[in-house]
């Protein structure tokens, strides 16, 4: 029964084995369902399931006698930054609150464990109670990118504040003014040379992520120095993007954002209002790097944003039961828009 369900063959079940590694061996896979097995052996589904559990218990007992593989359970800042951004955005789009909670929990852990607020030093790795290795460029930029995505969803100003602090420290540690880009590693006397990656692979090049962060935070807070750095990064990698455009897809995307416009969608309303949440969800479903949602909630978030975003500082407090949006490209603001469809129409027309 076990062999039938999991595809075990007398001579082995590897269909393609050019190196002979699995000769006479079997790789277990679900070849037949419990229902098919019950019909084949004239048993009930429950009897099949019970038999399989007994067989798997015997197999597991034998496997436990073998040497266990090493477990890689270290926590890496840059990888968690990517996870935070993905979980936050996925949770917002799919309506999965537990994804967003997981992103918040991870961000809190990194700040409490791998960050020194007095020095601004970020660390790269945590394992078994030990914090080690000073953060490299990818740790800073990936964490900042994740915090930006998480902020879009939960609208907690401390996330943006931390992003600004991390980016300022990143500039101090990694910026190379002669090249006009960031080095991937911090200055270290043991290094023969400091390099920077120019390929977006399984992990994007750190300068690609840094470029997008500088464009977003520079536009949001009006920091012209960061926008100038963004221009320098694009100039530094311009030849690479022209001769091998597929090598830097994220940087190409950031360059398009810089060339066109980034829109801030300011939603004015009570945070728990159905219409406010509906409008925020609509913005989350629009292109991530061109539409940035901001919530004017007459609370700490609006107060923080009011110090950085001109059109928010002049907004009146939200009126109970009403929600509207204002679309800004950083230079001019739209009139108040009261429906999701109208907001989407304005953005889609401007993005063309």
Looking up residue 284, the CATH number of its domain turns out to be 3.40.30
The residue from 219, 235, 259 where one domain ends is 259
The per-residue pLDDT for 132 is 95
* Same structural domain, 57 and 99: no
* 142 and 252, same domain (yes or no): yes
In a domain, 332, yes or no: yes
Percentage of the chain beyond pLDDT 70 is 98
319 and 227 in a common domain: no
Helix (H) or strand (E) holding 245: none
**Tens digit of each residue's pLDDT (9 = 90 or more) over 216-261:** 999 999 899 999 999 999 999 999 999 999 999 999 999 999 988 7
Q: Do 95 and 169 belong together in one domain?
A: yes
Note the Cα 225 to chain centre separation in Å: 25
Asked if residue 306 is part of any domain, the answer here is: yes
Domain boundary among 259, 282, 308: 259
What pTM did the predictor assign?
Answer: 0.84
Nearest Cα neighbor of 135 from 176, 73, 77, 83 is 77
Identify which of 251, 253, 215 has the alpha carbon closest to the alpha carbon of residue 236.
251
Q: Which CATH number belongs to the domain containing residue 85 in this structure?
A: 1.50.10.10
Q: Is the pLDDT of residue 31 over 70?
A: yes
Q: Does residue 10 sit in the same domain as residue 158?
A: no
- Yes or no: say if 273 and 323 are a contact pair by the CB < 8 Å rule: yes
**pLDDT tens-digit series, residues 105-114:** 999 999 999 9
pLDDT (tens digit, 9 = 90+) per residue, 146-184? 999 999 999 999 999 999 999 999 999 999 999 999 999
- Verify that 278 and 250 share a domain, yes or no: no
Residue 69 lies in a domain: no
Is residue 70 situated within a structural domain? no
Whether 104 and 227 map to the same domain: the answer is yes
Number of domains in the chain: 3
Q: What's the pLDDT at 352?
A: 54
Q: Where in the sequence is the domain holding 55, given as residue range(s)?
A: 2-63
348 falls in which pLDDT band (50, 70, 90)?
A: confident
pLDDT at 20: 85
């Amino acid at each position: 029964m076990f062999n039938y369900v999991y595809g075990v063959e007398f001579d082995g079940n590897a269909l393609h084995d050019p190196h002979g590694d699995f000769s006479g061996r079997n790789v277990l896979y679900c070849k037949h369902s419990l229902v098919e097995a019950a019909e084949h052996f004239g048993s009930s589904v429950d009897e099949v399931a019970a038999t399989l559990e007994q067989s798997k218990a015997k197999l597991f007992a034998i496997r436990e006698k073998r040497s266990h593989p090493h477990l890689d359970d270290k926590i890496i800042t840059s990888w968690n930054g990517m996870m935070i951004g993905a979980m936050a955005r996925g949770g917002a789009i799919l309506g999965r609150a537990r994804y967003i909670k997981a992103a918040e929990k991870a961000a809190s852990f990194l700040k409490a464990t791998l960050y020194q607020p007095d020095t601004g030093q970020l660390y790269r790795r945590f394992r078994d109670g030990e914090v080690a290795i000073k953060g490299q460029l990818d740790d800073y930029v990936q964490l900042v990118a994740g915090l930006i995505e998480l902020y879009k969803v939960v609208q907690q100003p401390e996330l943006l504040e931390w992003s600004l602090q991390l980016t300022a420290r990143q500039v101090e540690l990694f910026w190379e003014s002669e090249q006009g880009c960031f080095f991937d590693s911090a200055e270290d006397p043991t290094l023969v040379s400091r390099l920077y990656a120019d390929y977006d692979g399984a992990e994007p090049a750190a300068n690609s992520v840094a470029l997008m962060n500088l464009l977003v935070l520079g536009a949001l807070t009006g920091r012209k120095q960061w926008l100038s750095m963004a221009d320098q990064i694009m100039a530094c990698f311009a030849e690479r993007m022209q001769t091998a455009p597929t090598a830097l897809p994220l940087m190409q995307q950031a360059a398009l954002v810089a060339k066109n416009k980034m829109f801030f969608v300011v939603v004015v309303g009570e945070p728990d209002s159905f219409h406010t949440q509906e409008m925020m969800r609509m913005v989350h479903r629009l292109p991530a790097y061109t539409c940035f949602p901001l919530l004017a909630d007459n609370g700490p978030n609006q107060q923080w944003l009011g110090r950085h975003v001109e059109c928010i500082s002049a907004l009146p407090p939200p009126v109970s039961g009403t929600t509207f949006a204002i679309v800004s490209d950083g230079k001019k603001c739209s009139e108040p828009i009261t429906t999701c469809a109208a907001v989407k129409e304005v953005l889609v027309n401007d993005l063309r």
